[in-house]
Structure 1
Amino acid sequence: MSARFETVRETGSTNADLIARLEAGENIAEGTWLVADRQTSGRGRQGRRWLDARGNFMGSTVVHLSPQDPPAPSLSFVTSLAVYEAVFATLARPLGVFLKWPNDVLIAGSKFCGILLERRGDYAVIGVGVNLAAAPRLADRETRSLADSGPVPGRDAFARELAHQFDRELGRWRQFGLGPLLTRWLSAAHPIGSALSVHDGKGQKTSGKFEGLAPDGALQLRLDDGTMHVIHAGDVELEGN
Structure 2
Amino acid sequence: MALGHWLSVHPDARSRFGERRRGAVLIPPIERVAQTGSTNADLLARLAGGEQVGEGHWLIADRQTAGRGRLGRGWNDGQGNFMGSTVVHLTIGDPSAATLALVAGVALAKTVAALAPHIDAQLKWPNDLLVGGAKCAGILMERTGNSVVIGIGVNLIAAPELPDRPTATLASKGAVLDRDHFAGALGIAMIDALWTWRQEGVASIVRTWLPLAHPIGTPLRVSEQGIDGTFDGLAEDGALRLRVAGRETMLVHAGDVELRRPVEEER
Aligned residue for 1:2? 27
TM-score, normalization by structure 2: 0.85
Aligned residue for 1:165? 189
Instruction: Identify the match of residue 123 of structure 1 among 147, 152, 156.
Output: 147
Q: After superposition, give the CA deviation of every residue in 1:151-208 in whole Å (9 maximum; x if it has no partner).
A: 32211111001101111111111110001111111121122222211111xxx31011
State which drifts further: 215-224 or 116-125. 215-224
Cα drift, residue 92 of structure 1: 5.4
Q: Decide whether the 8 Å contact of 1:119 with 1:125 is kept in 2.
A: yes
CA distance in 1, matches of 2:253, 2:206: 15
The total of aligned residue pairs comes to 237
Q: After superposition, give the CA deviation of every residue in 1:56-78 in whole Å (9 maximum; x if it has no partner).
A: 01010111110111111100000
Instruction: Identify the match of residue 247 of structure 2 among 217, 220, 226.
Output: 226
* 1:55 matched to 2:76: no
Cα drift, residue 213 of structure 1: 1.6
Instruction: Identify the match of residue 73 of structure 1 among 65, 75, 98.
Output: 98
SS of the residue corresponding to residue 183 of structure 2 reads helix
Q: After superposition, give the CA deviation of every residue in 1:31-60 in whole Å (9 maximum; x if it has no partner).
A: 211011110111111111111111101010
TM-score, normalization by structure 1: 0.94
Aligned residue for 1:176? 200
Q: Which amino acid aligns with 1:123?
A: S
Aligned residue for 1:112? 136
Q: Which amino acid aligns with 1:223?
A: V
Cα drift, residue 121 of structure 1: 1.0
Write the mapping of 1:26-41 to structure 2, written as runs, cut at 5 A. 26-41=51-66
Q: Decide whether the 8 Å contact of 2:84 with 2:153 is kept in 1.
A: yes
* 1:237 matched to 2:258: yes
Q: Which amino acid aligns with 1:208?
A: G
CA distance in 2, matches of 1:26, 1:127: 18
CA distance in 1, matches of 2:242, 2:117: 34
CA distance in 2, matches of 1:208, 1:197: 6
SS of the residue corresponding to residue 198 of structure 2 reads helix
SS of the residue corresponding to residue 112 of structure 2 reads helix
CA distance in 1, matches of 2:158, 2:80: 8
Q: Which blocks of at least 5 consecutive residues in structure 2 are unaligned?
A: 1-25, 263-267
Q: Decide whether the 8 Å contact of 1:90 with 1:152 is kept in 2.
A: no
CA distance in 1, matches of 2:27, 2:233: 34
